[in-house]
C-alpha cells in the first residue's frame, strides 16, 4: 500500500508500542526508542492528523498488549527496565480518561512481555509471551459490569495455548473468532495459526 504521510503532530519513532482502533480513529502509545514511553496519540484519517491524548497512567513500558471490548480499549502488561508491569487500564474514547482495572497480580500468572491479545464476544484475551520463561497460558478478561462492586473487571484462566509456547506472536479477531499466530521461541520461528475457543484452543 501507499504510506500515509505524517502531518502535524505525530508520535516519535518507537518499537514495541501498542495500537488499536475505535470508531473512526486509530491510537498508538507506549513503546521504546532511546527509553521507554507511556505517551499516547490519536490519528484522524479524515484530516490525516495526529493529536496527543492523555498518557497511559502506569509506568512507561514496551512489549505491552491492547484489546477492545464494548467500545473501550484495555492496555497492560509489558516491561520497563527488566521489571514486568502489573497494572492494567481501561481507556474510554468518549471521556478521554483512563481507569485502573484489576491488576495482574493476587496469584494471577498474568504479567508478561510480548504477548498476543484479542477480543471476542465482549471479552479480552491474553495468551503466550515471556515471563522468566516463554509462556503458553491464556487468560480471559471480563470488563466491569453494573454488578461489579469494585468496577475493575475480573480475570479467569482458560485452557493453555496448544501450540508451542512462544513470544512475539500476533493476536487477531475476525468476527467473533480469536486467533494467535506466528511468534518465536529462542532461535525457532513459527508460522502456524491457532483459534481460541471459550475453554480450549484448537488448530
* Residues forming a β-bridge with 40: 29, 53
**Given the C-alpha cell 496519540, which residue does it identify?**
41
Map out the domains of the chain as residue ranges: 7-202
- Note the pLDDT tens digit of each residue in 1-32: 666 656 556 788 999 999 999 999 999 999 99
- By the 10 Å C-beta count (0-12 exposed, 13-18 middle, 19+ buried), 12 is classed as exposed
CA distance 159 to 161: 7
Burial class for 7, CB neighbours closer than 10 Å (0-12, 13-18, 19+): exposed
202: pLDDT strictly greater than 90 = no
| pLDDT per position as a tens digit, 134-155 | 999 999 999 999 888 899 999 9
Residue 10, pLDDT score: 73
Say if residues 102 and 52 touch (Cβ distance below 8 Å): no
pLDDT surpassing 90 at residue 189: yes
7-202 homologous superfamily: Kelch-type beta propeller (2.120.10.80)
Measuring CA to CA, which residue among 47, 72, 52 is closest to residue 12?
52
Largest alpha-carbon pair distance within the chain? Answer: 48
Per-residue model confidence (pLDDT) at position 53: 96
- Look up residue 9 and give its three cell numbers: 503532530
Q: Are 54 and 60 in contact (CB under 8 A)?
A: no
Average pLDDT, stretch 120-134?
A: 95
Please, is 149 exposed, middle or buried when counting C-beta atoms within 10 Å of its C-beta (0-12, 13-18, 19+)?
exposed
Amino acid at each position: 500500500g501507499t504510506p500515509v504521510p505524517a502531518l502535524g503532530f505525530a508520535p516519535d519513532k518507537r518499537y514495541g508500542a501498542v495500537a488499536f482502533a475505535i470508531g473512526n480513529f486509530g491510537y498508538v502509545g507506549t513503546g521504546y526508542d532511546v527509553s521507554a514511553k507511556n505517551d499516547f496519540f490519536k490519528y484522524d484519517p479524515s484530516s490525516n492528523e495526529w493529536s496527543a491524548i492523555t498518557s497511559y497512567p502506569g509506568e512507561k513500558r514496551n512489549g505491552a498488549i491492547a484489546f477492545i471490548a464494548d467500545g473501550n480499549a484495555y492496555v497492560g502488561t509489558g516491561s520497563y527496565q527488566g521489571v514486568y508491569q502489573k497494572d492494567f487500564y481501561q481507556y474510554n474514547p468518549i471521556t478521554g480518561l483512563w481507569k485502573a482495572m484489576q491488576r495482574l497480580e493476587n496469584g494471577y500468572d498474568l504479567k508478561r512481555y510480548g504477548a498476543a491479545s484479542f477480543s471476542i464476544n465482549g471479552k479480552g484475551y491474553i495468551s503466550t509471551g515471556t515471563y522468566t520463561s516463554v509462556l503458553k497460558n491464556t487468560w480471559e478478561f471480563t470488563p466491569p459490569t453494573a454488578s461489579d462492586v469494585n468496577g475493575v473487571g475480573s480475570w479467569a484462566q482458560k485452557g493453555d495455548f496448544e501450540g508451542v509456547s512462544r513470544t512475539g506472536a500476533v493476536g487477531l479477531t475476525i468476527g467473533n473468532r480469536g486467533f494467535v499466530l506466528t511468534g518465536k521461541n529462542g532461535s525457532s520461528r513459527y508460522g502456524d495459526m491457532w483459534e481460541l475457543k471459550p475453554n480450549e484452543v484448537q488448530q
